Structures are given as structure tokens and as C-alpha cells.
Amino acid sequence: MLIRFSYTVGAALLLGAAAAAVPPLTTVQDVIYKADGTRFNGQITVSWSSFEASDNSAIATQMLTVKVVDGVLRVKLVPNTNATPQTYYSVVYNSDGKVQFNETWAVPPSTQALRLRDVRIAAPAPPSGGGGGPIQQSEVVGLIADLGARPTKAAGLAAGRVAFVNSQSQLESVAGMAGDCVRVDGSSGPCGAAPSFVDGEALTGVVDGANAWFALTGTPDPVSSLQVYRNGLLQKPGLDYTLSGRSLQFHAAATPQPGDTLLTSYRLGGAGTSSSLYRTPQVLCSGAGAVTNSAAWSSIGICAVPAGLLTAGDRLEIRFDLEHQGVTGGYSFELRWGNTAVLLRDAPAADTFLTGRMDANLASGSARFAALSWGSTLPLSTAMASAADAYAGGLNIDFRGKVAQAGETLALRNYTVVRVP
């Protein structure tokens, strides 16, 4: 009996000591509503940093999740307004699977339950003592190594410029003109090599209706760059002629006749084969145009070519289709390259459709054009032109038209501008 009594007394003493060691708690209890008047359902997560309670109890860094059902919140927390060091509870509200809002609590000692308004604070008070000083880089694990692994800013780094990593692993800006191209080593220069091309060259050979062999001064490279014009009409390789090196033989049905004009354009081989960054055809503009019923020149379609897009040695193919509505008066159409009219056709009232093709060959500071156009009654017409409009800074390819009779219309049904390699 004596031994049993001793064990009972010892257990009671241990339980009493454990109860005495529990830190003081304050109850926070309230009902939470949403703005529409319904009760909040979800959970709150309360987190804190380690501190020492007023009874010297050591409170470890941790977090606590409390469910809120039908708006009812009830949680017991150790008061932290008298804690050492000064600390706060961070509270995050979760509902519908996502964070709704968060706030900060300062919980004072209280024997009665407190409401949320009693513990919420607008912002944590500034820390006192030396606990709020700046954190050194060396105090953050791995920070110095991570900072050392990234490129640093060099003196030559400027805003609004292309950046590259120099030989010292520093970020630096590429130097050069706005229209230059950037190479993989960070250097810059004109896009591509200097163009090497021939435009408007007359074929060498006798034009007597019998001779079919003619010669070029250079060798086209690539072969597909060769364009042969007979009286302004573009000849088709394989159908009208055959090229072998610098020798060109016309087929029997296409043999030049006395009085014919034979002109060629082509690119040469070597470093200057192309000055373009593009190696495949590129559509610059396409679509349907507008309609005009004006007797004055009106724009019915514009292809706005931006600055820096075209370079010497480029070729453009321009195609268009027009439709005329009316039976009394005719109409006029022109194609303008910048401020220069490079194609003009006047059509009678009976001509309801007009179509055209134009090749533009770009030289340094100028462009040359070869065009074909015809209509439903309008005969085939060939034309050649040139324009000195500067294109490096961008220009407009303007499709313009006018009608001769009020109440009639001229519509640009389709147009396409393609840059070819």
C-alpha cells in the first residue's frame, strides 16, 4: 500500500509540473463574413518566428492551420505583445483553393476571448534594438556564389542596345549603326557582304532573226537569278532559252527578230552573292485594296515598307488585279514607288478587269522596273522605268486609280509584294 501511494503521489506531482510549464494562452474568437453577407469557409494558416513568452517559455518557429467552418474562427495562441524579441503572427486566409488575403496579428495577454479587431494591426512596428539591422551577403547561404556566377555589367553597357557577353564574362552593348547586323561574336557591320549584281545589261550577239546564240559578260550565280527581257517581256528559262555558263541560246520559237531589245539582270558569284538576310521568298504585303469613285487620283492600296528592310541587290515581285464597274467612262491606274510613278495605264469603259506584274531590281540608291499589264480588252503592254527614291529609310508602294465618269468605281481586288532571294 505504501509503494502504491508513492507512485500515485509522484504521478500527480509530475502532472502538476507539466501543467505549470504550459505557457499562457489567449483565445481569439470571431465570426468572419464575406462582402456579400455570406459566412467565410476555408482555413487560416498562422505562422511565427521563435520567441520567448512572458513566462520564459521557448516558442519554436512553426505554423498552425485552423479550419473556419460557417464563419466561426477559434484559435488559442501564446501572447506575443510581451514576447522577447518582439514578434508578430502572420495570418493567411485560404478559401476556394487559393489565398484570399493575409494580415498581421499582435496578441496581447487576456483571460477573455478576443475578437479579430483586437489583434489585427495595420503593419508591424519597427524593430527595436539591433535585431533589425541589415543582413550581410555572407549571412545568406549560397548568395555570394550565385552572384559570382552571373555576368556583371561592363562600363560599355547602354540601355536600348543589343547586349552580348564579352571576353571577361561581362555584359556589354554591341556598337554599330542602327541598321547593322549583329554577329555571334558580338561584332556588327552591314547586313551581308557588299552586293554584286548586274542590271540592265544588253546581250552580246547579232539580232538578225537567225542568230540564236548570245553572251553575258558575267556568269549568273545563282543561275535562277538571271532574268532575260525581250522588248520588256520576261523570258522563261527552259521555254524561251537555255543558259550554259555565260552563253545563252534562244529556242527556235523565241529567236530575237531585228529591232528587238534584249536586256538582262543577274547576280554574280563570290562573297557578294546576296546582301539579304533572307534566303527564301518573303511576302512583304498582300490583301485586298480599296474602292474609289473619284475623278481625282486616289490611293486604293499601300504597301508600307519599313526602314532597314530593303537593301541593294534585293528583288521585288509586285502583282495586282483591278476591277472596273461602269459602262460609260474609262479609268486610269498608276503604281508609285515612293514619289515616282513607275507604271501608268489608261483603260476604256469596256475594260472591266486589269492585271499587272512588275519586277523591281534594287541598286545602291535607286531601283529599276520591268512591268507587264493587260486588261479584258486592253492589249498587253510592256514598260521599263527607274526611280531614285531612297528606300533604306522605308517607302510606300502606292496603288492609285481614278474614274472618268461619276457613279463608276475602280477597285483593287488583290495585290501582293514579295521579296525574292
Give 308-348 pLDDT, tens digit per residue: 788 888 889 999 999 999 888 899 999 999 999 999 999 99
The pLDDT assigned to 151 comes to 81
Structure confidence at residue 273 (pLDDT): 41
User: How is the chain split among helix, strand and coil, in percent rounded to 5?
Assistant: 10, 45, 45
In the chain, CATH 2.60.120 covers 282-420
Which stretch of 278-287, 322-331, 396-405 has the lowest confidence by average pLDDT?
A: 278-287
Put the strands of the sheet holding 227-230 in their side by side order.
Answer: 197-202, 262-267, 227-230, 233-234
Classified by CATH at the fold level, domain 282-420 comes out as: Jelly Rolls (2.60.120)
Q: What single letter denotes the amino acid at residue 37?
A: G
CATH code linked to domain 23-124: 2.60.40
Q: Are 209 and 258 in contact (CB under 8 A)?
A: yes
Lowest-pLDDT range, 117-121, 321-325, 364-368? 364-368
Claim: this prediction has a pTM higher than 0.85: no
Give the alpha-carbon dihedral of 322, 325, 326, 329, to 10 degrees: -30
Q: List strand residue ranges (DSSP E) for 6-116, in order.
A: 26-31, 42-48, 51-52, 58-59, 62-68, 72-77, 89-95, 98-105
Nearest to 383 by CA among 373, 374, 371: 371
List pLDDT tens digits, range 58-98: 999 999 999 999 999 999 999 999 998 888 999 999 988 88
Where in the chain is CATH 2.60.40? 23-124
Q: Which of 9-18, 39-48, 321-330 has the lowest mean pLDDT?
A: 9-18
